[in-house]
Amino acid sequence: VGTGAVAAVDLGATSGRVIVGRVGPDTLETTTVTRFSNDPVVAGDGLHWNLVGMYGSVLDGLREAFRASPEIASIGVDSWAVDYGLLRRGRLLGEPFHYRDERTARGVETVHARLPHAELFERNGLQFLPFNTLYQLAAEDRELLEFADTALLVPDLIGYWLTGVARAEVTNASTTGLLRVLQAAWDDGLVSSLGLPRGILPPLIAPGDRLGALRPSVAAALGASDDTPVTAVGSHDTASAVVAVPMQADAAAYISCGTWGLVGVEVEHLVLGRAALEANFTNEGGVDGRIRLLHNVMGLWVLSEAVRQWERREGHRIDLPTLLDAAEEADGPVFDVNDPRFLAPGDMTPRIDAWCDEHDVPRPRTRAEYTRSIVESLAQAFADSVADAARIGGVDVRSIHIVGGGSLNELLCQRTADRSGMPVLAGPVEATALGNVLVQARAAGFVSGSLESLRDLVARTHAPRRYEPRA
Ligand code: LFR
């Protein structure tokens, strides 16, 4: 055990970054080497990610990282969940679809005609989200699906390009809906009853496992040594974020707040009963076999998409801190942020208006009021889901940790404390990258121990900011 360095690639729905982490028994530091935007494109048949372009940015970032820190001992990759690329003999058959593409509705119909959600839930333990991988695969072009020999989730695809090894990391695989949740193995029966090809799903791999060494050509291009490994991490970004929540899992809830607000508790056993089904909770796979019992709340997406439309209309940037200051002085009605109408890209204010009209709630009038309304609605949805998580998971929740970009939003943190009646502990903002770094560092031997000791290191090096609930 000594201090060492690893590189984390963290791809989010709006931006990606390459980070170097330095870790030792009393050290946890990160340096962001590059940050690049992630700009989905409507191209031909729908909304796609520009993954090849992002891979180029990842390579640039890693090259920079190895130049500055030649001692980097390992690379780990995480991203958002559910989306995949189809390949044949190593070649990508078109850019992956964005999970917000409308085609998923077709897949939901096809799948539910064979298996209703309640039956699926017993097998895969997932909340219903229209974009879960199984619905996307069911909406896929049949010929293309049969032509493909491999399907790889986004971080697995990046890992494959780096190493030539095709595997499915299990925390992210748990979001596909195709894992037999009690066994953490592909559900062959489900795959065949949905008429999907089983052969395209690669062998599973767990966080901490070695995926493989860099391809010699990649190592040369990065200036890295040939034997630098890519290590599997919690490749689902939310799984990595939960690793780095400085919480006591038996007394706290977490909210991993970025584009989405993932609200839940960590438990040791699956929770598959009626209460979880009715509250639409999910059992996603966590690092070290833990279960992330959580619910997807719409998240900062609603705010950032509203701001994006206002900027487009005005032709200039809107300063978010200024907008949030104005929102602090304004009033705003609470609407249901989880309403599916807020899922697709586009103008949010008319959708908020329509929701208010349908529910006899006065509409917000100014941008400050819309902003306040979105923040209040998120805070309420967070408080509600924390209460659900505590009840369903049987956890005596006494505080709420908010990590990710949302932990910097003071109004959101304070209003979540107020509306839940519990203290909110905000930060670290870069929890996902820290979780990625920590799992690699443990595999490399720079730290050791359970998630509890990794979280203790986070708490010692990244003290959260506390918000007390106000009456
Ligand atoms: C967060 C996240 C959520 C997942 C959503 C779609 O970035 O990974 O956990 O439900 O994106 O993949």
Per annotation, catalytic residue among 237, 384, 388, 418: 237
Res. 216 pLDDT band, cuts 50 70 90: very high
pLDDT one-digit tens code per residue, 331-388 = 999 999 999 999 999 999 999 999 999 999 999 999 999 999 999 999 999 999 999 9
Three-class SS of residue 390?
helix
Nearest CA to ligand 1 atom 12: 81
Residue 1: what pLDDT? 58
- Dist. CA 260 → ligand 1 center (Å): 7
For residue 212, what are the β-bridge partners? 230
- Dist. CA 224 → ligand 1 center (Å): 31
pLDDT one-digit tens code per residue, 97-125 = 999 999 999 999 999 999 999 999 999 99
Ligand 1 atom at minimum distance from 129 CA: 10
Contact by Cβ (8 Å): 232, 166: no
Ligand 1 atom at minimum distance from 284 CA: 9
Q: Which of 14, 124, 175, 242 to probe ligand 1 with, by most ligand atoms within 8 A of CB?
A: 175
Nearest CA to ligand 1 atom 1: 80
Q: Tokens 């009715």 appear where? A: 278
159: Cα within 13 Å, side-chain hemisphere = 33
How many angstroms separate the CA atoms of 300 and 257, rounded?
Answer: 7
Tell which residue, 130, 161, 170, has the closest CA to residue 344.
130
Tell me the ipTM for this assembly. 0.98
Lowest mean pLDDT across 42-46, 60-64, 447-451: 42-46
Mean pLDDT of 30-41: 97
Mean pLDDT of 262-274: 97
311: Cα within 13 Å, side-chain hemisphere = 13
In total, the chain counts a number of residues equal to 471
Res. 325 pLDDT band, cuts 50 70 90: very high
- Cis preceding-peptide flag for 216 (omega within 30 of 0): no
Tokens of 108: 């939901």
pLDDT one-digit tens code per residue, 420-444 = 999 999 999 999 999 999 999 999 9
pLDDT for residue 452 is more than 90: yes
Tell which residue, 330, 360, 328, 333, has the closest CA to residue 349.
333
Ligand 1 atom at minimum distance from 262 CA: 9
Binding pocket residue ranges, ligand 1, CB within 6 Å: 13, 80-82, 99, 236-238, 258-260, 262, 296
How many angstroms separate the CA atoms of 222 and 65, rounded?
Answer: 9
Contacts of 136 (CB under 8 A, 6+ apart): 82, 83, 84, 97, 99, 103, 104, 107
Mean confidence (pLDDT) of the chain: 97
Contacts of 248 (CB under 8 A, 6+ apart): none
H or E segment at 119? helix 117-124
pLDDT one-digit tens code per residue, 70-95 = 999 999 999 999 999 999 999 999 99
Tokens of 383: 């408080």
Ligand 1 atom at minimum distance from 81 CA: 12
User: Longest C-alpha distance within the chain, in Å?
Assistant: 64
For residue 42, what are the β-bridge partners? 47
Nearest CA to ligand 1 atom 11: 80
- Dist. CA 410 → ligand 1 center (Å): 23
How many angstroms separate the CA atoms of 156 and 286, rounded?
Answer: 17
Lowest mean pLDDT across 193-197, 232-236, 368-372: 193-197
Q: What percent of the chain has pLDDT over 70?
A: 100
- Dist. CA 2 → ligand 1 center (Å): 34
Sign of the CA dihedral with 212 first, then 218, 222, and 226 last: positive
- Dist. CA 267 → ligand 1 center (Å): 19
Residue 471: what pLDDT? 82
Contact by Cβ (8 Å): 242, 435: yes
pTM of the model: 0.98
- Dist. CA 240 → ligand 1 center (Å): 12
Q: Which of 296, 298, 403, 432 to probe ligand 1 with, by most ligand atoms within 8 A of CB?
A: 296
Nearest CA to ligand 1 atom 2: 80
How many angstroms separate the CA atoms of 225 and 220, rounded?
Answer: 8
pLDDT for residue 22 is more than 90: yes
Q: Are strands 84-88 and 150-153 parallel, antiparallel or unpaired?
A: antiparallel
pLDDT one-digit tens code per residue, 282-310 = 999 999 999 999 999 999 999 999 999 99
> What is the end-to-end Cα distance of the chain in Å, rounded?
48
Ligand 1 atom at minimum distance from 82 CA: 12
CB atoms inside a 10 Å sphere around CB 315: 6
Amino acid code (one letter) for 155: P
Q: What percent of the chain has pLDDT over 90?
A: 98
325 annotated active-site: no
Res. 250 pLDDT band, cuts 50 70 90: very high
pLDDT one-digit tens code per residue, 134-192 = 999 999 999 999 999 999 999 999 999 999 999 999 999 999 999 998 888 999 999 99
How many angstroms separate the CA atoms of 114 and 134, rounded?
Answer: 13
How many angstroms separate the CA atoms of 319 and 331, rounded?
Answer: 20
- Dist. CA 329 → ligand 1 center (Å): 32
- What is the 3-class SS of 289-317, one letter each residue? HCEEEEEEECCCHHHHHHHHHHHHHHCCC
